[in-house]
């Protein structure tokens, strides 16, 4: 029986190419399936990360709200209970002092010293109460509370402190007033501790449907991005400012450069936002470094 003729060379080459192509197709499909599985796994991980970030954000808000409520309670207790008790002791000592003038100078001197201690204690209690939560913030509003705080700091530190506020600076809800006051308080604390500044200027004005507070000092600059990612209390203070403003639907930026000092800008909507509304989990982005 005759042997069949061999296929032409180009036919054999095409067959080999088709085989290689089929094998390559199989490999690529396997790679695509693996990538799809990885994408699905990564997507699940991202979703889980988003959920965890949202839980952390909610916990942070709850902690800040609880801290503010506790500060309000302690402030009122110090002012209403402890302050009044010490004032009552002072009145009683004054009465004893009058009686002591008839019985001896030594007793009068002791009572006078005690009265001085009580007066000093009352002043300290009022100062602590103001630091925890100034009564002006609840009773009068943001601007009077800031003016009282600046006056106290100017007397204590010698800083030149200026506040300029538009008439509609109070056109925000209580959460917004608290957030702006705490940001100003933390910013001024950082200036006193770190900036070696001579003057600080605070301006509050309306920009469209938002209220903007700008705090500028003429002190030493600092690397904003590095501090935000470094451990320590100063980082927590900056992150706390970001979180407070984010809680009321606003945005905070920090710009600091040599020779220009530091500028903190907090912008919040005039109408209070829903604190439970979901927002993107973007990390705070400093404006400058």
pLDDT digits (tens, 9 = 90+) for 29-77: 888 888 878 777 878 888 877 777 776 777 677 677 767 777 777 777 7
Yes or no: say if 209 and 172 are a contact pair by the CB < 8 Å rule: no
Q: Is 206 helix (H, G, I), strand (E, B) or coil?
A: strand
pLDDT in tens, 141-157: 999 999 999 998 999 89
- Please enumerate, as own/partner, the contacts of 49-57 that have beta carbons within 8 Å and a separation of 24 or more: 50/281, 53/281, 54/278, 54/281, 57/243, 57/281
First to last CA, the chain: 90
Distant-in-sequence, close-in-space partners of 112: CB < 8 Å, separation ≥ 6: 97
Q: Which residues of 70-87 are buried (b: 16+ CB within 10 A; e: fewer)?
A: ebbeebeebbeebbeebe
Cα–Cα dist 101/95, whole Å: 11
**What pLDDT is stored for residue 278 in this prediction?**
38
Q: Is 216 helix (H, G, I), strand (E, B) or coil?
A: strand
**What pLDDT is stored for residue 21 in this prediction?**
79
> Which residue positions in the chain have pLDDT lower than 50?
272-289
Annotated domain spans of the chain: 12-133, 138-289
Indicate yes or no: pTM above 0.85: no
Strand partners, 216: 201, 263
Which fold would CATH assign to domain 138-289?
Heat Shock Protein 90 (3.30.565)
**What pLDDT is stored for residue 53 in this prediction?**
76
């Amino acid at each position: 029986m005759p042997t069949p003729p061999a296929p032409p060379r180009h036919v054999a080459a095409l067959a080999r190419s088709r085989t290689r192509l089929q094998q390559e197709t199989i490999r690529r499909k396997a790679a695509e399936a693996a990538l799809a599985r990885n994408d699905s796994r990564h997507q699940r991980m991202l979703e889980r990360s988003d959920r965890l970030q949202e839980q952390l954000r909610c916990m942070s808000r709850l902690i800040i709200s609880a801290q503010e409520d506790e500060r309000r309670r302690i402030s009122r207790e110090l002012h209403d209970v402890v302050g009044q008790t010490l004032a009552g002791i002072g009145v009683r000592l004054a009465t004893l002092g009058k009686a002591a003038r008839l019985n001896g100078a030594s007793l009068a001197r002791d009572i006078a010293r005690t009265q001085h201690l009580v007066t000093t204690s009352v002043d300290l209690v009022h100062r602590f109460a103001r630091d925890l939560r100034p009564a002006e913030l609840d009773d009068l509003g943001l601007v009077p509370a800031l003016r009282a705080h600046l006056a106290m700091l100017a007397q204590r530190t010698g800083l030149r402190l200026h506040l300029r506020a538009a008439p509609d600076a109070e056109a925000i809800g209580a959460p917004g007033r608290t957030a702006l006051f705490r940001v100003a308080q933390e910013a001024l604390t950082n200036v006193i501790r770190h900036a070696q500044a001579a003057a600080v200027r605070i301006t509050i004005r309306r920009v469209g449907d938002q209220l903007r507070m700008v705090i500028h000092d003429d002190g030493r600059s600092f690397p904003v991005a590095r501090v935000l990612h470094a451990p320590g209390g100063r980082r927590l203070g900056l992150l706390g400012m970001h979180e407070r403003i984010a809680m009321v639907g606003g945005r905070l930026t920090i710009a600091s450069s040599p020779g220009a000092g530091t500028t903190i800008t907090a912008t919040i909507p005039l109408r209070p936002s829903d604190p439970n509304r979901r927002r993107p989990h973007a990390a705070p982005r400093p404006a400058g470094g």
